[in-house]
């Protein structure tokens, strides 16, 4: 079914944030907090003590039907592949999209991944591509927000390494790929939920930095500039990843998935195009600006050098 572009939002839309307890999802929730022009409903499988939360499971369609009652906009960054099972990314996302269509949701904002359609060999990239296709075919007006690599992570191995004077990297010093800071990504997802310009609908929008993809040598140099502390590069070479990828599959689905992902990065195709980001969201920050904010928050500098 072709997606509609006529689904205007009510004056105070109800937005369901799916994945709201996650590292990124909590930032999306935070980016919408305190706004008087939206009613925010947050979803988790676990009961939460605060008001505004609804309990539902991506694997349980009936629970999704309940969670979606009265919802105008869905924003989802939920995933299962990182901590549990990739079934949530395939079956769970399909359940959510079907339930959203049944509920007559007016806008579906989905967090996807840059280049997910170029890497069928990376399981969680493929899951995003399958979900994107289901959304495009659902008839629900949508905004697909595609993220590149997160500079920051919940368990921030990069910041932890830098505290020991080491920049931990994967592959080599020179191949470039795109990055984003999750604080900035969360703001874009929140903006997409209620963006007043209906031209935003049915677009796929990459979110990254204004000055393009970066190599790990670039990143370590910028980190050294903003912190005033040079770090030595500690890189796991490509050949180790190539040797490990098949044995790892025997005991870790996530390990296999991530190794395949890094081997895809090696192709040089993990690149964001920020033209629609510039049009619909705030101007993308430069790599230096994003890295400076991250370094400051991680306590890598007392005072970021201007």
- Decide if 74 contacts 16 (C-beta within 8 A): yes
Residue of minimal Cβ distance to ligand NAP: 22
Q: Which two tokens mark 43?
A: 């979803």
147's CB contacts (< 8 A; 6+ apart) are 111, 112, 113, 114, 180, 185, 207
CB of 117 to ligand NAP, least distance (A): 14
User: Does residue number 42 form part of the binding site for ligand NAP (CB under 6 A)?
Assistant: no
- Decide if 212 contacts 179 (C-beta within 8 A): no
CB of 249 to ligand NAP, least distance (A): 19
**Which CB, 82 or 236, lies closer to ligand NAP?**
82
User: Does residue number 45 form part of the binding site for ligand NAP (CB under 6 A)?
Assistant: yes
User: Does residue number 59 form part of the binding site for ligand NAP (CB under 6 A)?
Assistant: yes
CB of 147 to ligand NAP, least distance (A): 4
User: Does residue number 58 form part of the binding site for ligand NAP (CB under 6 A)?
Assistant: yes
286/290 Cα distance (integer angstroms): 6
117/159 Cα distance (integer angstroms): 30
User: Does residue number 258 form part of the binding site for ligand NAP (CB under 6 A)?
Assistant: no
User: Does residue number 78 form part of the binding site for ligand NAP (CB under 6 A)?
Assistant: yes
With 0-12 / 13-18 / 19 or more C-beta atoms within 10 angstroms meaning exposed / middle / buried, residue 33 is exposed
User: Does residue number 141 form part of the binding site for ligand NAP (CB under 6 A)?
Assistant: no
**Which CB, 93 or 138, lies closer to ligand NAP?**
93
Residues that bind ligand NAP (rule: CB under 6 A) add up to a total of: 30
| Three-class DSSP category at 39 | strand
β-strand 73-76 against 107-113: which pairing, if any?
parallel
User: Does residue number 117 form part of the binding site for ligand NAP (CB under 6 A)?
Assistant: no
User: Does residue number 88 form part of the binding site for ligand NAP (CB under 6 A)?
Assistant: yes
User: Does residue number 46 form part of the binding site for ligand NAP (CB under 6 A)?
Assistant: yes
Identify the CA nearest to 125 among candidates 25, 258, 29, 233. 258
203/155 Cα distance (integer angstroms): 31
263/170 Cα distance (integer angstroms): 10
By CB under 6 A, name the one of 17, 53, 73, 77 that touches ligand NAP: 77
Name the segment binding ligand NAP (CB under 6 A); options: 133-141, 142-150, 155-163, 164-172. Answer: 142-150
Q: Which two tokens mark 281?
A: 């969201």
- Decide if 176 contacts 117 (C-beta within 8 A): no
CB of 97 to ligand NAP, least distance (A): 14
User: Does residue number 187 form part of the binding site for ligand NAP (CB under 6 A)?
Assistant: no
User: Does residue number 113 form part of the binding site for ligand NAP (CB under 6 A)?
Assistant: yes
CB of 141 to ligand NAP, least distance (A): 21
- Decide if 79 contacts 88 (C-beta within 8 A): yes
145/188 Cα distance (integer angstroms): 8
End-to-end CA distance of the chain: 51
CB of 203 to ligand NAP, least distance (A): 18
Give the x/- contact pattern for ligand NAP in 1-40, rule: CB under 6 A: ------------------xxxxxxx---------------
Contacts with ligand NAP by CB under 6 A lie at 19-25, 44-46, 57-59, 77-80, 82-84, 88, 92, 111, 113, 124, 147, 149-150, 153-154
């Amino acid at each position: 079914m072709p997606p509609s572009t006529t689904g205007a939002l009510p004056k105070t839309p109800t937005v369901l944030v799916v994945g709201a307890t996650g590292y990124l999802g909590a930032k999306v929730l935070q980016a919408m907090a305190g706004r008087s022009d939206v009613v925010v409903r947050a979803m988790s499988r676990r009961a939460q003590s605060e008001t505004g939360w609804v309990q539902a499971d991506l694997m349980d369609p009936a629970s999704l039907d309940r969670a979606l009652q009265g919802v105008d906009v869905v924003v989802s960054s939920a995933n299962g592949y990182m901590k549990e099972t990739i079934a949530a990314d395939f079956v769970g996302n399909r359940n959510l999209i079907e339930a959203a269509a049944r509920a007559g949701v007016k806008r579906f904002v989905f967090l996807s991944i840059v280049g997910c359609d170029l890497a069928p060999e990376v399981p969680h990239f493929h899951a995003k591509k399958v979900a994107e296709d289901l959304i495009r075919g659902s008839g629900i007006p949508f905004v697909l927000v595609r993220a590149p690599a997160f500079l920051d992570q919940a368990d921030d191995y990069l910041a932890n390494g830098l505290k020991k004077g080491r920049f931990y990297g994967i592959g080599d010093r020179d191949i470039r790929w795109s990055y984003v800071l999750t604080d900035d990504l969360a703001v874009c997802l929140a903006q997409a939920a209620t963006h007043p310009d209906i031209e935003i609908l049915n677009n796929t929008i990459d979110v990254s930095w204004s000055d393009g993809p970066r190599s790990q040598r670039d990143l370590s140099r910028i980190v050294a500039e903003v912190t005033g502390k040079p770090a030595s590069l500690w890189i796991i070479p490509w050949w180790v990843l190539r040797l490990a990828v098949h044995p790892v599959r025997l005991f870790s689905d996530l390990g296999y998935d991530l190794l395949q992902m890094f081997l895809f990065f090696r192709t040089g195709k993990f690149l964001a195009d920020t033209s629609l980001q510039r049009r619909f969201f705030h101007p993308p920050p430069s790599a230096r600006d994003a890295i400076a904010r991250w370094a400051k928050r991680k306590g890598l500098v007392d005072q970021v050098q201007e």
